[in-house]
Structure 1
Amino acid sequence: MFYDRAKIYVKAGDGGAGAVSFRREKYVPLGGPNGGDGGRGGDIILEADEGLRTLVDFRYRRHYKADRGEHGQGKDMHGKGAENLVLRIPAGTIIKNEGTGEIMADLTRHGQRVTIAKGGRGGRGNARFMSNTNKAPTVAERGEPGEELWLLFELKLLADVGLVGFPNVGKSTLISRVSAARPKIADYHFTTLVPNLGVVQVEDESFVMADIPGIIEGAHSGAGLGHEFLRHIERTRLLLHILDISGSEGRDPLEDFKIINQELKLHSPALAERPMLVVPNKIDVNGSEENLRRLREEFGDAYEIYPISAVTGEGIDKLLHKMIQILPEVPLIGLSADPDEHRMVQVQSEDRFVITREDGMYIITGKEIERHAAMAYLDTDDGVMRFQNILKVMGVDDALKEQGIKEGNKVSIGKLELEWSEGGQ
C-alpha cells in the first residue's frame, strides 16, 4: 500500500544516573568518592533509503523510543552509552516538527542522515564533586532527559521523469509499456490514485519514471486531490505532458494543455520552468490528425512534440531516445519547489524560567530550569543543598518571593513537586 504521509512520536534515550559511592578497602579508611558517571542516552536518527518507496511502516507503529544510558557504578565505573535508534525512511521525505510546522530536514540522497532527537547526557557521579572543601560529597546527578517530539513525514517521490496530464489520457499505459511497472489500467477517470514508479531501460542507460495521478482544473487549490498529486511532481527533473490528441473524452487537447500548465504554475512557479516534452497520445485513433496539426501550429515553436500511441508502441522509441539525450543536461532537484511555504520562524524567549500560578501551585517552566530539576539528586542533604543553590543563583528564590509565595505553598518544576519553606524549598 502506498502511504506518503505519516505522523510519529520520537523520544531519545535518557542519560544514565551518576553513582554515589566511596572506596572501601582494608587499610584504606579514607578512600574517597568513586562513583562513576552515567552513560549517554541513544539518539534518534533518520536515514534516507532509496529502496523504500512508501511510509507504510510508520502507519502501524507510531511511537519510537531509544534506550537510556547505563547508570554509573562504584569503583569509578562509568555507565555505557546506549545505541542510537536509526529509522529508515524513503529518499525524498521532508521531516517537519508537528508542533511548529518547521521543516527540520529534507532527505533526498541515499544514506543521508539527520539526528532528529538527541539523547540526554549521563549524570555525573559523586567523584566529580569532590573539592578542597568537601572531600566526601554525597551528591550526584541523574541522567538528562532525552529530547522528545511529534514529527510529520511528507514523501515527495524522487524521479527523473514525471508524466502529467488529465485523467485517462494514457499515462499508466505508457509507463506499463516502457518499464516493469504494472499500474491498474481501466477506461474511467482516476484509475490511478497513487503514483507509480518504473525504471526505464534504453540500451545502456536507465532512468526512473513516475506516473502521477491525473490532474484536473483547480488542482492547485485542492480539487480532485490536487495537492496530493501535485506534490509528487516537484521532485521530477523532466516533465512529459501527455495529451489525448484524439479528443476521445470530448475535451479539446489544446485547452487541456493550457489548463494543466496553468495548474502547475499556480502550484509552484518553479514547475512552470521545468523542462517539458509534449507527448500527444492515441495517434492511432480516428480524428487525431487534425488535433495534432492544430497542436503543432499553436505550440510547435515553444515545445518539442513527440506523438505516440501507448497502445501500439508507435513513436515511443523516438521519445525514449530523446529523454536519454536531454536528461544528463537537466540538473538534479534538491529541496522542494517552495520549502519556505511551510517554514516557521519562532522567537526564542530570553527568560531562563517563567512562573505561573494554577490552583494555588507555583509552576516554574523553562528548558534550563526543567533540565536541572530532572537531573537533581535529592536523596542526600548534599544533593538537596546543591539544587537549592542552583535555584538561588538562577534567581528563582527571589522571583517566587516577589510573587508572594508563603510557607507550605507547592512548587512544581517539570515532574518535580516541592514545598516552600522560609529556610529554602
Structure 2
Amino acid sequence: MFVDEAKVFVKGGDGGDGAVAFRREKYVPYGGPAGGDGGKGGDVVFVVDEGLRTLVDFRYQTHFKAPRGENGRGKNQHGRSADALVVPVPPGTRVYDDATGELLADLVEPGARFVVARGGRGGRGNARFATPTHTAPRFAEKGEPGEARWVRLELAVLADVGLVGYPNVGKSTLLSRVSRARPKIADYPFTTLSPNLGVVDLGEGRSFVLADLPGLIEGAHAGSGLGHRFLRHVERTRLILHVVDVAAVEGRDPYDDYRSIREELRRYDPRLAERPEIVVANKMDLPQAAERLSAFREKLGPDVPVYPISAATGAGVPALLEAVWARLSELWAEEKAAQEATQHADRSAAVHRLRGRRPAKEDGPPFTIRKEGEIFIVESERLRRIMARYNFDQDEAVRRFARLLKKMGVEEALRAAGAVDGDEVWIGEMAFELSDEGI
C-alpha cells in the first residue's frame, strides 16, 4: 500500500507543577520555602528516516502525545524534564498546519528534525517567589500546557529524474529495463497507481534515482484522476523524462499528448513548465513508429531534442541514459553553486546583523476588551498563558493575579469601558467580579 497523505494530532507534554514546600529541620525553626520547579514537558519531534517510503503507519496511529514533566518536590528538588517523543517520517514529508494550511516544514534530508509540538515549561516552585518582604510564599505555578494541533502530512517522493506521460506509454517498462525495480506492468491504463523508484547504475560510480510516476490525464491540475497526488511528486524531481507513445498504439496523437501534459504541468505550477526536460519517443520497435517520429520531431521543432527508444527491446536506451547523466551533472553543479552563493549571503547577513542595531520589538496591544450584553470580556494571549500556570485554589495565587491585572492596566481599562462594581468580567474560561478591591 502506498499512502502519501495523512492527518494526525500532536501534543507536547505538559510541564510539571511547581511545589509548595518549606524546610522542616531540627534547630531550623524558620527554614523558608523549599518547593522545587516542575520539569519541562516533552516535545513531539518529526525525524526523517530514510528507511521509510510511505505514510501508511499514520493511518493506524493518528495521535501522538509526549510525556509530561515531573512535578517539583520539597527540599528544592526539581522535577525531571520529559524526553521528546520522536516520530519517524519518510524523506520528502511536508508538514502543514491543518487549521491554517500553513507549511510548517519540508523534511527532505535524512536525519532532519522538526519540533511540531513543543512541551510546556515547568511551573516554578514557591522558593522562586521568596522576597525580603515576603519570606514564606504559599504560591507555586502549575506547569504550562504543551502545544497541541492537528497537522496534515503530505509525501512527495524524492527522485533525480521523473518519468511523466499519459497512461500506457511504457514508463514502467522503461523503469524495469534500466533498474532493478519491478513495477506492475499490464496492457491497460492506470496500471501504475503509486510512484515506483529505481536506482539506475551506469558504472564508475555514476548512478541516479528514477521515479515512475502515475500517468497524467487532462484536468489533472484541477484534481482529475490522480491529480494533485501525482503532480506533487513531479515537484521533487530535478529532471523530467517526458515519455510519449510515438507509435500511437491507442490512437492518440503523440504531439497532442505531449502538449497536453505540458499544459497540465504549467497550470498546476508554472515552475514545472520550466523544469529541465528530455523527450523520449518510445515503442520504436513497432512498424508505424518511424514514420510518426518524423512528424513528431517536425512539430516539436529543432530546439527540442528527442531520444527514440524501445523500452521493450532496449534499443536506444543506453544513449538516453548517457544524455540523462550529462544533464543531471550540469544541474547538480548549478545547485552546488547556488547553495554556496546562498550560504555566503547568509553569513554576510549574519555579520551585518551582529554589527548593526537590533530592531525595536513590535508588540501588539497586551489585551482587548469587548462587551457582550452585560458581560465584559478581556481577551489577551499573555493572560491566557499566565492563567494556565496559576492554581486559583491558592489564595495567594488569586491575590497575585489581581495585582497583575492592576499592573497591566486591565482594571483601569474596564472602568474606562463602562464597567462598574459588581459587573461580571470574563478572562479566558474564568469569571470574576469587579469591585473596589479590584477583580
TM exceeds 0.5? yes
Contact 2:163 2:211 in 1 (8 A): yes
Structure 1: distance between partners of 2:428 and 2:90? 36
Question: Counterpart amino acid of 1:223?
Answer: S
CA distance in 2, matches of 1:61, 1:410: 44
Aligned equivalents of 1:222, 1:377: Cα separation in 2: 51
Q: Within 5 A, what are the aligned runs for 1:94-133?
A: 94-133=94-133
Alpha-carbon deviations, 1:30-57, whole Å to 9, x = none?
1111111111111122222222221111
* Residue matched to 1:266: 267
Amino acid at match of 1:208: V
Kept after mapping to 1: 8 A contact 2:120/2:143 = yes
Whether the 8 Å contact between 1:12 and 1:118 is mirrored in structure 2 is yes
Deviations 1:343-385 (A, max 9, x none): xxxxx99232344556865544332111111111333332221
Deviation larger for 244-253 or 355-364: 355-364
Give 2:298's aligned residue: 297
| Equivalences for residues 8-407 of structure 1 within 5 A | 8-203=8-203, 204-299=205-300, 301-331=302-332, 350-356=364-370, 362-403=376-417, 405=419
Secondary structure at the aligned position of 2:308 is classed as coil
Following the alignment from structure 2 to structure 1, what is the Cα–Cα distance between the partners of residues 411 and 2? Answer: 56
TM-superposed CA distance for 1:420, in Å, is 5.0
> Over residues 221-265 of structure 1, what are the superposed CA-to-partner deviations in whole Å (9 max), with x where a residue is unaligned?
323232221111011011111110111110111221122122222
Helix, strand or coil for the counterpart of 1:163?
strand
Pick which of 27-36 and 191-200 moved more.
191-200
Matches of 2:231 and 2:430 in 1, distance apart?
49
Deviations 1:254-308 (A, max 9, x none): 2211221222222222222222111111111120010112233333622222211
Aligned-residue CA RMSD in angstroms?
2.4
Shift of 1:315: 1.7
Inter-partner Cα distance in structure 2 for 1:240 and 1:90: 24
Question: SS of 1:314's equivalent?
Answer: coil
Comparing 136-145 with 20-29, greater Cα deviation is found at 136-145
Alignment partners' CA distance in 1, 2:198 and 2:397 = 63
Residue 125 of structure 1, CA deviation: 0.8
Does the C-alpha gap of structure 1 residues 405 and 393 become closer, same or farther in structure 2, counting only changes over 3 Å?
same
- For structure 1, the residue ranges without an aligned partner over 5 or more in a row are 335-347
- Matched residue type, 2:330: E
CA distance in 2: counterparts of 1:377 and 1:253, whole angstroms: 72
Moved more, 9-18 or 71-80: 9-18
Amino acid at match of 2:280: V
Secondary structure in structure 1 of the residue aligned to 2:160: strand
1:86-105 CA distances to partner (integer Å, 9 max, x unpaired)?
22212212211122222111
Partner letter of residue 351 of structure 1?
P
Conserved 8 A contact 2:406-2:438: no
Range moving further from structure 2, 394-403 or 301-310: 394-403
**Deviation, structure 1 residue 402:** 4.4
Tell me the SS of whatever aligns to 2:285.
coil
| Cα shift readout 1:181-228 (whole Å, capped 9, x = no counterpart) | 222222222222222222222223221111111112232232323222
Q: Deviations over 1:44-91 (max 9, x none)?
A: 222222222211111222221111111111101011111111222122
SS in 2 for 1:246: coil
The farther-off stretch of 399-408 and 8-17 is 399-408
Letter paired with 1:275: P
Does the CA contact (< 8 Å) of 1:215 and 1:226 recur in 2?
yes
Residues 411 and 419, structure 1, Cα contact 8 Å, conserved in 2: yes
SS in 1 for 2:241: strand
Question: What percentage of residue pairs aligned between the two structures are identical?
Answer: 55
Cα separation, 1, equivalents of 2:53 and 2:425? 50
The offset of 1:393, in angstroms, is 1.7
**Partner Cα separation in structure 2 for residue 392 and residue 39 of structure 1:** 30
How far off is 1:415 after superposition? 4.4
State the alpha-carbon separation in 1 of the partners of residues 264 and 101 from structure 2.
Answer: 25
Counterpart Cα distance in 2 of 1:60 and 1:360:
48
Q: TM-score, normalised by structure 1?
A: 0.90
Q: How far did residue 138 of structure 1 move?
A: 1.0
Supply the distance in 1 between the matched residues of 2:167 and 2:48 (Cα, whole angstroms).
32
The TM-score normalised by the length of structure 2 is: 0.87
